[in-house]
Amino acid sequence: MSEKHIVVQGATLKCKFSVDPKTDILKVKTQEKHYANDKDGAKKLIASDKDIGQTLEKNTFGKCKKQPSGSDYLPCKAQITKWSGFYDKITLSNQGKILVEDSKGTCPMGAPDCIEVVKHGQKPETGKQNFKDADPELHSQINPMVDMAAFQADLDDNDIV
């Protein structure tokens, strides 16, 4: 998967045929078992190629260039019919393949691969290991108010964070 992020619930998608570049948020509706970037396993469900149909929060990207109506355009009714560019080496329990940040969706009104991932939905979270791995000398230059070496010793002794 070399440096590609997994797409999770909350990812931002856009369509290249949106009149005003509008985005919508992906909702994973096909599985409730596999999570990424979520230490509590409650928010960031992994998206798969089985997440098709109306699987967005608003199910629209605004007005659609593929649906002209006089001097304007009809509203988009986003419906993903298939995904391409997914990671096919892992199969989730719903028999789906994991979507990655360069996966593309197809809409029946647009052309193949007209929907793309703008943001994969993952957010970095600091954990105990990040503090253990921090360079105390470098940290003292950035934040001289904290004695990082003492803090790291406390991490080992008290198991905090």
Beta-carbon-side half-sphere exposure of residue 3 (alpha carbons within 13 Å):
0
* DSSP line for 80-94: B-EEES-EEEEE-TT
The pLDDT of residue 94 is 95
Rounded distance between C-alpha atoms, residue 121 and residue 139, angstroms: 29
Q: pTM of the full predicted structure?
A: 0.78
pLDDT in tens, 83-133: 999 999 999 999 999 999 999 999 998 789 999 999 999 987 777 777 778
The pLDDT of residue 157 is 67
Hey, what amino acid is at 22? K
Domain ranges of the chain: 1-124, 128-158
Which residues, in sequence order, are CB contacts of 56 under 8 Å at separation 6+? 13, 24, 25, 26, 27, 78, 80
The pLDDT of residue 1 is 46
